[in-house]
């Protein structure tokens, strides 16, 4: 009986560790708005890979998901999905509404 309990406990612990690793490095995200249309359609699901940014930095053209101080109607903090147009050291210029 103890062997069965031990095996069951071991399986649960391994499953929890795997779930923790997956949610740390990969994040499912639902796109709710039109700001990235037509690249990303509204109400599509994205699987966000966080691994490249653990050791590296975002570069031009990358699409990123980040928490911002923007809140939904329910008061929940929103994730924003945007494309990188400039990185540290770049000068971004907007003329007549065009970047």
Asked whether residue 4 is domain-assigned, the answer is no
Pick the catalytic residue: 9, 10, 32, 35? 35
Asked whether residue 94 is domain-assigned, the answer is no
Tell me the Cα Rg of the chain. 20
Asked whether residue 50 is domain-assigned, the answer is yes
Asked whether residue 16 is domain-assigned, the answer is no
Count: domains in the chain: 1
Give residue 63's pLDDT: 93
Q: How far apart are CA 95 and CA 72, in angstroms?
A: 31
Please name every residue paired with 6 in a beta bridge, in sequence order, or none if there are none. Answer: none
Asked whether residue 5 is domain-assigned, the answer is no
72 is catalytic: no
82 is catalytic: yes
What pTM value is reported for the model?
0.70
Asked whether residue 41 is domain-assigned, the answer is yes
Question: What's the domain range around 57?
Answer: 28-83
Mean pLDDT, contiguous 10-residue spans, the chain (99 residues): 90 95 88 90 92 88 89 85 92 91
């Amino acid at each position: 009986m103890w062997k069965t309990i031990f095996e069951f406990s071991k399986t649960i612990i391994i499953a929890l560790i795997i779930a923790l690793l997956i949610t740390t490095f990969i994040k499912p995200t639902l796109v709710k708005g039109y700001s990235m249309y037509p690249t990303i359609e509204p109400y599509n699901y994205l699987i966000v890979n966080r691994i490249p940014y653990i050791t590296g930095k975002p570069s031009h053209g990358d699409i990123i998901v980040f928490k911002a101080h923007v809140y939904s109607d329910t008061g929940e903090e929103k994730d924003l999905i945007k494309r990188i147009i400039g990185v540290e050291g770049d000068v971004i210029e907007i003329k007549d509404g065009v970047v």
